[in-house]
Structure 1
Amino acid sequence: MKMYLILLFGIHGALAVTHSLRYFNAASSGILNVPEFVEMGMVNDQVISHYDSITKIKVPKQSWMKEYFNKQYWDSTTENLRYAEEVSKVNIQTAQMRFNQTGGMHFNQDMYGCVWDDETGFTDGFHHIGYDGIDLLAFDLKTETWIAAVPQAFNSKLKWESNPSNIEREKLYLTQECIEWLKKYLDYGKTTLQRTVPPSVSLLQKTPSSPVTCHATGFYPSGVMVFWQKDGQDHHEDVKYGEILHNDDGTFQKRTHLTVTPEEWKNNNYQCVVQVAGIKEHFIKVLTESEIQTNWGANDPNTTGSALIIGVVVALLAIVAVVVGVFIWKKNKNKKGFHPTSTSDTDSDNSGKGVQKT
């Protein structure tokens, strides 16, 4: 019997729907056959635009972007990015000099944008800069200053803070212009960006002694909680949480692993609970022998699922080396405690505005 339940009212309450607009700039040197500069625009983790140093043209990645924005928009943002590309080359040379490096492969990463909660009205803005997988600088909106994470970044901090107009422009974009553009994009692309799609939940196990994996996939938006309960109480012991990953159809997946003996889960009530932002229902899969899919028999979950793309950047840009640099830096940034800080309709959305000479 299928033990798949949908509860109308969850214990944890509904997840808030937070929307985001982010730009990722990745510059590289010493790497053959990949663009030296790439920019990717993302709304709610969906790629909306792309530019690279090979094509030198900013292009839409969503049909609604093609429909709502004219040639003037694409020309102006392309011009911004061509300038940002040239600045990024200088920045890598400057960083190499400050870190006493000669030659080799190097990455410069720039991530900036904003988030907005459409229920509470809460907003955040952020701007982080990294180099070769480490933090360099982060803008603090509360103090209106740049935080230098390493001594090599201190000169840039002093340079940027010495010009009040630069600080004011940074603050204006993160607190106002970025939010306005985010709302504009959400309105134009609401059929895809503001949709909700419930998850498909499965329990997977490689061998009888392996951890039991709760796999939620096909959900949208990306905000999700996947957790285990034991006898109706949240259970965190011997639980390992995976990252949110992208599917090839624009939805997301996430896995949570529970290490428990068959004797233990057969004698207790274990269940995996999944909650997706914007969907009030909780999706629950009860841990029973009949619910577990294995690959030590004919039922192999690795061959029955949809093809999954581990990194959206890899899939869309096909520049593995640059992307690895961006995401390694993002993970390191999160570990080191750099977080977003509290935070006019023109023909340009400020693509490339994050790149400044260091």
Structure 2
Amino acid sequence: MKTLKIFLLLVLQNNPVSGANHSWRGLYTATTGIKDFPEFVGVNFFNDEVIGYFNSETNQFKIRQDWVKTLDEKYVEKQTESFRNFTVKFNNGLKMIMTQFKQTNDQGVHTIQLMYSCKLDDETGVTEGYCQFGYDGADFIRLDLKNIDWVAAKPEAEIIKQKWNGAEYNYWKNYLEQDCVVWIKKYVMYGKIHLERKVPPQVSLLQTDPSSPVVCHATGFYPDKVKISWQKDGQDLHEDVDVGETLPNHDGTFQKRAELKVMPDVWKKNHFTCVVERNRFILSKIRTNRSFYQELLPGNNVPGIVAGLVVAALV
């Protein structure tokens, strides 16, 4: 009987934060007509990672990343107050827009959404920002920082544009070009250890039975830029391979998986390799040998593949 060997190559890269682009983004939604759903929900992102959220049912801001707590001892309190004000403002804004669409007596579902963001380039100091509103899933009005104006996407937004061209425009311009950038610098400074950390993945091979797909599962890694691929006898394998998306874990790390569909007789005749990489630095190699497990457990039917028997450190 031929020995089945599967090698997992964990390859990580040095991915420093310095010289990077950093961004802060807010996504807020107010709704009406949806049963058992909060009237207002807000989510804050830093570098596309959720750092906190709020909804009008709990009426409290919740932190998703522990390092954010170091920003300010009253950070949660201030964010909670800000979101409560946004809740009132958005509900009033939703009523105003419904009036423009002549929907004040409409009992259906309506939503207003706000997406706004600012970005900072560490090296050049260049900043950019945007702010746009949507209504019922379509563009409604957006801020044009270059031309100092609001741009209405629908005729119903023209009246609101006139109302917002004064104080509302100045508020968002000042926030996106100044205050938001100040906050980005704070997030970078206080989150430096968190953002620059490099956590290698824990890799497992999973298979329910000899005829089911083999899953190469990498989890617990940070940052999120990894690639998983399969090789057959040292050659890249693309057929019968299904690579999933990178997904977040509850602790701020990430996970990813790649499934390989192959018949049992093919396993016996070939060597397969699951490669997890970020660059070309091999950190470790994990070898799994099915027949070795069967020798350890004589008389037992060991289904599929279990991961991580032999670990050899490589440089």
Give the TM-score category using the shorter length: 0.5 to 0.7
The one-character-per-residue Cα deviations of 1:81-113 (angstroms, maximum 9, x if unpaired) are 233212322444435974969324444433332
| Residues 273 and 285, structure 1, Cα contact 8 Å, conserved in 2 | no
Match of 2:198 in 1: 196
| Residues 200 and 222, structure 2, Cα contact 8 Å, conserved in 1 | yes
The one-character-per-residue Cα deviations of 1:193-232 (angstroms, maximum 9, x if unpaired) are 4322111123334554544433221111233333445666
Among 222, 225, 230, which residue is 1:223 paired with? Answer: 225
Higher-Rg structure is: 2
Structure 2 spans left out of the alignment, 5+ residues = 292-300, 307-315
Q: How does 1:17-166 map to 2 (within 5 A)?
A: 19-58=22-61, 60-71=63-74, 77-93=79-95, 94=97, 98=101, 102-115=106-119, 125-127=129-131, 129-131=133-135, 153=154, 155-156=156-157, 159-160=160-161, 163=165
Normalising by structure 1, report the TM-score. 0.58
In the TM superposition, what is the alpha-carbon distance from 1:184 to its structure 2 partner?
0.8
Once superposed, what is the RMSD of the aligned Cα atoms?
4.7
Match of 2:7 in 1: 3
Q: How does 1:301-312 map to 2 (within 5 A)?
A: none
Q: How does 1:334-345 map to 2 (within 5 A)?
A: none
Q: 1:77 to 1:4 in 2, by over 3 A?
A: closer
Q: Secondary structure at the match of 1:249?
A: coil
| Residues 128 and 138, structure 1, Cα contact 8 Å, conserved in 2 | yes
When you count strand as a share of all residues, which structure comes out higher? 2
2-side partners of 1:207 and 1:124: how far apart? 53
Q: Secondary structure at the match of 2:186?
A: helix
Structure 1 spans left out of the alignment, 5+ residues = 302-358
| Residues 274 and 283, structure 1, Cα contact 8 Å, conserved in 2 | no
Normalising by structure 2, report the TM-score. 0.64
| Residues 212 and 258, structure 1, Cα contact 8 Å, conserved in 2 | yes
Among 247, 250, 255, which residue is 1:248 paired with? Answer: 250
2-side partners of 1:155 and 1:114: how far apart? 27
Amino acid at match of 1:49: G
Q: Percent identity of the aligned residues?
A: 42
Q: Secondary structure at the match of 2:182?
A: helix
2-side partners of 1:85 and 1:297: how far apart? 56
The one-character-per-residue Cα deviations of 1:163-210 (angstroms, maximum 9, x if unpaired) are 277556545544554333122113223333432211112333455454
2-side partners of 1:163 and 1:147: how far apart? 10
2-side partners of 1:144 and 1:235: how far apart? 53
Equivalent pairs counted in the alignment come to 288
Q: Secondary structure at the match of 1:3?
A: strand
2-side partners of 1:233 and 1:139: how far apart? 51
Match of 2:182 in 1: 180
| Residues 56 and 78, structure 1, Cα contact 8 Å, conserved in 2 | yes
